[in-house]
Amino acid sequence: MDLLVHLRRNAKYYPDKLAVSDRETKITWAEFDRRAFRLAASLSQLGLKKGDRVGVLMSNGYRYLEAYYALPRLGAIIVPLNTRYAPAEFAFVLNDCAATALLIEDTFLPLYEKFGPRLETVQTLVFTSKTASYAPEGMLDYEGLIADSPGAAFFQDVRSEPDDTVGLFYTGGTTGRSKGVMLSHKNLIANALNSAAVSDISTRTVYCHVAPMFHIADASSIVTYTMMGACHTFLPRFDAVQALETIQRERVSHIGLVPTMINLLVQVPTIKDYDLSSLKLIFSGGSPTPVEVLRKFRQLLPCKLRQGYGMTEASPGVTTLDWETLLRAVDAPPDSPESRIMLSCGIPGTNVEIRILNDQGEEIRPGEIGEIVARGPNIMKGYWNLPEETARVLRDGWYYTGDLATIDEENFVYIVDRKKDMIISGGENIYSAEVENALYAHPAVLEAAVIGVPDQKWGERVHAVIVLKPGYEATEDELVKVCREQISGYKIPRSLEFLPEMPKSGAGKILKRNLREKYWQPGLRQVN
């Protein structure tokens, strides 16, 4: 059981069906398989071997998809890089996993100028481009590697075991240190099967990758839709009008969007001018979809919506809320228990078990709050080179998510808070500790607490609460500037607030819930 089984199956039994349809670019499964094989053979010839880590810094497109399947052919581990990283973050991740090769798209070369000199282990650079035809000095050309591959005479697919690592997916940590989540063939296929069981996918399905392909939300769809022999299409970045155009042009059937994007989609004034009849399913995560958006969705889009909760460590699906239940909630009287289900992230996926435990380790009852722990074949192997962090979260077969949740009488799950202090803004995960660390770099900052507050457009936005040192001063602009030097743009606080002192617990811990109170509706913090 490994990812290549799916690729070989498609190449053998659906050779002429489309793997990729992206405007003029049409690639059949036979051709896709051939390209991925030839790339793998070339990389093998260059000395890459089983277990080597390979960074990928590319925008959404078919070459990214090829990389996801070429690297397992040699048993190499893909390390998809967040395109919005700051230079220090690129350097940290690639050095942390001691990557020996990097696949990089031309648009990221200016970024590479900044982090390249800091890399300690990368020896092979492979250049890709959607427009240029030659690689710059010192880089190998992606298409050249495919064209000049030694081929089957010199290479054959490396045999992988179900527990072999396919990829390292770096995720922010509570301490600000990014951790490489090791996901195996078994993990990714388990999640794909749970998704496929509820998604009605076939070779006639067209999936549109609009979520970034470095993110587990999309990486998981790569596996699911390839497993079922579906066709892939791409949007390099989300734009509501372009999304509608793509759905119409490519006859897209399934797409993954965060609620922010769904909202933008249904707001497009000309939406009714598009033929969206091919659309069957939108799935969504990160936060619940607001009821007004759901109502518009139902009016304007011919498809189902499924929302869920998960995280990189779970490959990523933990819970899911189906369309029929969501619709019942939309149609229920406001403020009824059934209407409240709209704010739920649903119930565990097909082969996922969850428990929600109070501080005594007992399962909570409806209305109580506890930590979600999850078990299943989709749960990660562990964190790269971090046995202690791994042992802390993987205990007795259960993954301790660090997220707080409650349940209603029907056992629907509601996320109350992220123990990890994670903010989800426009689908991106932002760890408050990382932003706080950046703020502390300013000499005037005594205490910094970063929280997510509701935002019409982004679901949540990054909000910083600051206590200055006595006698010191600092402006918002100065604090934003000090952040910009250290962390990605999307992590920088969008709003700041100065307080004379922080609300604290008896033990002296900053009470972030108190800070959030004035921004959020009474009761639940409505994210999932």
The residues of the shown chain that bind a copy of itself, judged by CB under 8 A, are 1, 5-6, 8-9, 12-13, 162, 189-190, 193, 196-198, 200-202, 204, 227-228, 322, 324, 347-348, 350-351, 353, 376-377, 410-411
* Closer residue to a copy of itself in complex, CB, 350/385: 350
Nearest distance, CB of residue 394 and a copy of itself, angstroms: 16
Sheet with 124-128, edge to edge strand ranges = 140-141, 124-128, 101-105, 53-57, 77-80, 165-171, 179-184, 382-383
Nearest distance, CB of residue 378 and a copy of itself, angstroms: 10
467: number of CA atoms within 13 Å, CB side?
11
Sheet with 254-256, edge to edge strand ranges = 25-28, 18-22, 231-234, 206-209, 254-256, 281-285, 304-310, 317-321, 347-348
Nearest distance, CB of residue 483 and a copy of itself, angstroms: 43
Question: Which strand (E) or helix (H) includes residue 187?
Answer: helix 185-196
Residue type, 80: P
Nearest distance, CB of residue 357 and a copy of itself, angstroms: 15
* Closer residue to a copy of itself in complex, CB, 376/426: 376
* Closer residue to a copy of itself in complex, CB, 139/188: 188
Nearest distance, CB of residue 428 and a copy of itself, angstroms: 30
* Closer residue to a copy of itself in complex, CB, 322/338: 322
Nearest distance, CB of residue 346 and a copy of itself, angstroms: 9
| First-last CA distance in the chain | 31
Residue type, 345: C
* Closer residue to a copy of itself in complex, CB, 201/502: 201
**Which residues touch 292 (CB under 8 Å, ≥6 apart)?**
none
* Closer residue to a copy of itself in complex, CB, 59/307: 307
Which of 335, 271, 262 has the alpha carbon at shortest distance from 304?
262
Cβ(93)–Cβ(55) under 8 Å?
A: yes
DSSP letters, 414-454, are EEEEETT-EEEETTEEEEHHHHHHHHHTSTTEEEEEEEEEE
* Closer residue to a copy of itself in complex, CB, 69/431: 69
Nearest distance, CB of residue 2 and a copy of itself, angstroms: 9
* Closer residue to a copy of itself in complex, CB, 128/187: 187
Nearest distance, CB of residue 377 and a copy of itself, angstroms: 5
- Could you give phi then psi for residue 365, rounded to 5 degrees? -100, 165
210: left (phi over 0), alpha (psi -120 to 50) or beta: alpha
